[in-house]
Amino acid sequence: MQQAYQALRVISEAQTVHIILVPQPGELMLKELISASAALQAESSEGVKAVVLDFTGQASARSADRPITSELLARAREAVRAIPQPVLAVARASLSEVACQLIGEADFTLIAHEASLHLAGSAQKKEHDTIGGFAAARLGYATWSARAGELNREMERVLDMLRSKSAVALRHAKTSVRLAEQHATAPLEALSQVNRFYLEKVMATEDAREGLQAFLEKRQPNWENR
């Protein structure tokens, strides 16, 4: 299924949602990204196991029609961060500073060796440096990097790992990480919150019971994604 957006394409297939963006997203694209991200929180998206933010193609004249306000960028970043499914950001070309801030909210990043990213400088200097995709992965600014010609194959490898998991387990795993981050300054409280979430939410799912049963029976689990 493909939805037609004026500046954004959203393709749903194989338990994933593929959001196509340009390397220099403009105001219109950010607004549509916010809407598309919010739609992923609906009950109808509970079977989705991964969301791909694919920065590809060329920016059109309409993609940068107006300056992007800090308020809009903050909303777009929060919308990406709030996506309940694991988010994989794929950078096929060098990204603008706005795009780099968006991929900073993704759970995983896959960068082409040939692409470059902007790194925010200190608040005092307000400077930005750039770094290539290969170096970004080596230094921990990206999760993976691959040559442009091998990017699709590497992306499918990552998505296959996620597709083999339970959709509800993936969402809960992401929620637990966010929960721990909220209490990062109080490790014992973070542990208590995550443990409570595990007992009250994770273990109450059908897939939790199926996972235990499959382990005992030494077979592959049949996920119901709920």
**Which DSSP helix (H) or strand (E) runs through 160?**
helix 151-163
The tens digit of pLDDT for each residue in 14-37 reads 799 999 999 999 999 999 999 999
Whether 133 and 148 have beta carbons less than 8 Å apart is answered as no
How far separated are the first and last CA of the chain, in Å rounded? 23
pTM of the model as a whole:
0.85
Q: Please compute the mean of the pLDDT values over residues 95-124 and round it to a whole number.
A: 86
> Range with the lowest mean pLDDT among 9-13, 33-37, 153-157, 207-211?
9-13
Cβ–Cβ < 8 Å for 119, 112:
no
Mean pLDDT of 56-71: 67
Domain residue ranges of the chain, discontinuous segments joined by +: 2-163, 167-216
Higher-scoring residue by pLDDT: 107, 5: 107
User: pLDDT-based confidence at 225, cuts 50/70/90?
Assistant: confident
CATH 3.90.226.10 fits 2-163, yes or no: yes
Report the relative pairing of strands 116-120 and 50-55 from DSSP bridges: unpaired
